[in-house]
């Protein structure tokens, strides 16, 4: 009989991750690299990573910040703007720098001010991406202030994404951090084409919008797209645990210093990297579908991106595991980051095959 307290799977990848830069990069990267083999790195730095040269330089900084022997590969993305040059994008792809390009509607979220004001103007960019097979990763929310914040994803699918994929019928698209039943239905409806995927975060599998108001306003549960009603969370759990298919793991781990979270206008983003795989395991275990975790975490993403799954394995051990209350990311306490579940425990611990690497310390860099 298999041991229900241990689960071995191919080493997973994180198909949506914010690593930031400088001291924050050095503080957060070890948590991801200790578990995940590859990660799609979001380009929303200030200024954004909007050219192949900028992405190459950012990749160098990430590599330089890696602890030794992690075997971790950062996969870079291009931040699309109104003035993205299709030739630069294609050259970056041909040189192995760009794994994808990210569409932020202007002002949709953190560092999205330079994002795209009107997707209709990016026709030549999308046409080139379609031609070379470069996936388009979308932050799928409209920014129209007249649209209720909880409806912005559903309206985006309707108004922006449906016409876009109809116009570019071979464009590969990932609906990033899906948060609604609408997104699940949209992606499922296109599953047969193999060209539409979606990432799902651990936090959207574990919390609904009530978590924003639990005993007071909870900035550490605030992210974009914001968590929705319970019926949407249930649809996400169903999708994530559905086995082989278009849904795959993307944490959207998005660290902000505590000073930017615990204030009058808190930044959006949850820092889930210190417990990420264990958090996903909790969500899968809650519905009795741990056997489907490997497809979601380690197989569906590589299949979508046309990459091989990882050769090595990780083992999840069912044991309450502390999550640090804070992770230092600079000289002062205000620079620290509060992880999701910080100061409490996650139900699963991760062991890497072949090495008994201790988890990174929470002392930053």
Active site residues: 252
The mark string for 169-208 relative to ligand DOR (x by CB under 6 A, - otherwise) is: ----------------------------------------
CB 364 within 8 A of CB 23: yes
Told to check if 251 binds ligand DOR by CB under 6 A, we report no
Q: Which helix (H) or strand (E) holds 354?
A: none
Local structure of residue 159 (DSSP, 8 states): I
Per DSSP, what are the bridge partners of residue 138? 103, 175
Q: Per CB under 6 A, which of residues 122..141 are in contact with ligand DOR?
A: 139
Contacted by 44, from Zn ion, ligand DOR, none: CB < 5 to 8 Å by type: ligand DOR
Binding mask 42-81 for ligand DOR (x = CB under 6 A): --x-------------------------------------
Q: Which of 101, 178, 223, 281 binds ligand DOR (CB under 6 A)?
A: 223
Interface size with ligand DOR, residues (CB under 6 A): 10
As given in the structure block, the two tokens for residue 181 are: 């039943």
State the minimum distance, in angstroms, from the CB of residue 269 to ligand DOR: 3
Helix, strand, coil abundance in the chain, percent, nearest 5 = 40, 20, 45
Q: Whose Cβ is closer to ligand DOR: residue 54's or residue 254's?
A: 254
CA distance 41 to 58: 10
Give dist(CA 232, CA 237) in Å, integer.
9
The answer to the question of residue 113 lying near ligand DOR (CB under 6 A) is: no
- 152 contacts ligand DOR (rule: CB under 6 A): no
| Shortest distance in whole angstroms from residue 203 CB to ligand DOR | 9
Q: What tokens were used for 167?
A: 């116009």
CA torsion, ordered 14, 232, 154, 303, to nearest 10 deg: 30
Closer to Zn ion at the Cβ: 201 or 349?
Answer: 201
CB 96 within 8 A of CB 141: no
Q: Which does 223 bind (CB under 5 to 8 A by kind): ligand DOR, Zn ion, none?
A: ligand DOR
- Residue 109 touching ligand DOR (CB under 6 A): yes
Based on CB atoms, which residue is closest to ligand DOR, 150 or 243?
150
DSSP code per residue over 192-250: GGS-EEEEE-HHHHH--GGGGGTTS--GGG--SSPP--HHHHHHHHHHHTS-SSSEEE-
Q: How far is the CB of 270 from ligand DOR (least distance, A)?
A: 7
Helix (H) or strand (E) holding 58: helix 52-65
269 contacts ligand DOR (rule: CB under 6 A)? yes
List residues near Zn ion by CB under 5 A: 252
Instruction: Please report how close the Cβ of residue 16 comes to Zn ion at its closest, in angstroms.
Output: 6
């Amino acid at each position: 009989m298999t041991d229900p307290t241990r689960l071995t799977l191919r080493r997973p990848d994180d198909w949506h991750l914010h690593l930031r830069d400088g001291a924050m990069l050095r503080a957060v990267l070890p948590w991801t690299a200790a578990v995940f083999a590859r990660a799609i790195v979001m380009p929303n730095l200030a200024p954004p990573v909007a050219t192949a040269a900028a992405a190459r330089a950012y990749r160098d900084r990430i590599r330089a910040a890696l602890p030794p022997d992690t075997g971790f590969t950062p996969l870079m993305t291009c931040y699309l703007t109104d003035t993205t040059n299709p030739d630069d994008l294609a050259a970056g792809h041909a040189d192995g720098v760009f794994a994808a390009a990210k569409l932020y509607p202007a002002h949709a979220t953190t560092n999205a001010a330079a994002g795209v004001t009107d997707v209709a103007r990016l026709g030549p960019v999308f046409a080139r991406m379609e031609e070379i097979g470069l996936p388009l990763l979308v932050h799928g929310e409209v920014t129209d202030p007249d649209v209720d914040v909880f409806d912005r994803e559903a309206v985006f699918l309707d108004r922006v994404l449906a016409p876009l994929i109809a116009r570019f019928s071979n464009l590969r698209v990932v609906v990033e951090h899906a948060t609604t039943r609408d997104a699940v239905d949209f992606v499922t409806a296109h599953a047969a084409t193999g060209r539409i995927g979606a990432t799902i975060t651990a936090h959207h599998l574990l919390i609904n919008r009530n978590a924003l108001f639990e005993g007071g306003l909870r900035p550490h549960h605030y992210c974009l797209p914001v968590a929705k009603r319970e019926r949407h969370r249930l649809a996400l759990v169903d999708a994530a645990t559905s086995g082989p298919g278009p849904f795959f793991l993307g944490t959207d781990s998005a660290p902000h210093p505590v000073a930017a979270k615990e204030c009058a206008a808190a930044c959006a983003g949850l820092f889930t990297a210190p417990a990420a795989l264990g958090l996903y395991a909790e969500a899968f275990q809650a519905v009795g579908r741990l056997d489907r975790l490997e497809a979601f975490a380690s197989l569906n993403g590589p299949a979508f991106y046309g990459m091989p799954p990882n050769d090595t394995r990780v083992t999840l051990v069912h044991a309450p595991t502390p999550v640090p209350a804070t992770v230092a990311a600079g000289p002062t306490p205000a620079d620290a980051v509060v992880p999701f579940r910080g100061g409490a425990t996650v139900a699963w611990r991760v062991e890497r095959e072949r090495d008994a690497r201790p988890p990174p310390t929470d002392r930053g860099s």
